[in-house]
Amino acid sequence: MTIPMGRRVRSFIAIPVSDAGIQALNSAVKSLETAIGRHVRWVRPEGIHLTLKFMGDIQSEAAEQVLEALPSVAAEFMPFELAIKGLGAFPNLRRPRVLWAGVNGNLEVLSSLQQAVEDSVERLGLPKEQRHFSPHLTLGRVRRDVDDRQRRNIGEAVLSVATPAVVRWTADTVNLMRTEFDPEGSKHYLVGSASLGSG
């Protein structure tokens, strides 16, 4: 997928989730949809990913620079293991806004990789993320018109749904993605990728 030149591109850097992981998450989402479906905008299964750096709308030239910088960052890290662990919500289950699946595994390497990505992007002149990195897989976003009672019900539903099967996978790739919006929601497209440990 090429970068549309001469305009702004909504972009982010992420680690893809394995097919088995996507299937497990999709099963959990279907259970949640039964209870709270219309109150949440769900992420398409193929769009679920582990975000390392969200850059928002940036110039296409800057996205091209990010893509060129990724291989040198990825080369510093060997592939490592990750796993899906549990369900939750930001900021909390009493007033949920974002529903997520947790991430377990080699979190020390994951954090180091995320910091290396952050530093590389900052050197290109893009803003540094001020929030602490909290690895997660976004499953859906609660609609803005949902009242407090409904939000509590959503939180209770998240607690009651069986957590996804423990699926482990090897993180061996870092992807640059771009997002396009259409009437059905957002769609993510692969711009380019870099393999870990390929220096």
Which residues are catalytic, by number? 49, 136
DSSP symbol at 179: E
User: Exposed e or buried b for every residue in 45-67, given b needs 16+ CB within 10 A?
Assistant: bebbbbbbbebeebebebbbbbb
Is the Cβ–Cβ distance between 47 and 186 less than 8 Å?
yes
Give the distance from CA 58 to its chain's centroid: 18
CB atoms within 10 A of CB 197: 12
CA 46, CA 24: separation in Å to the nearest integer?
Answer: 12
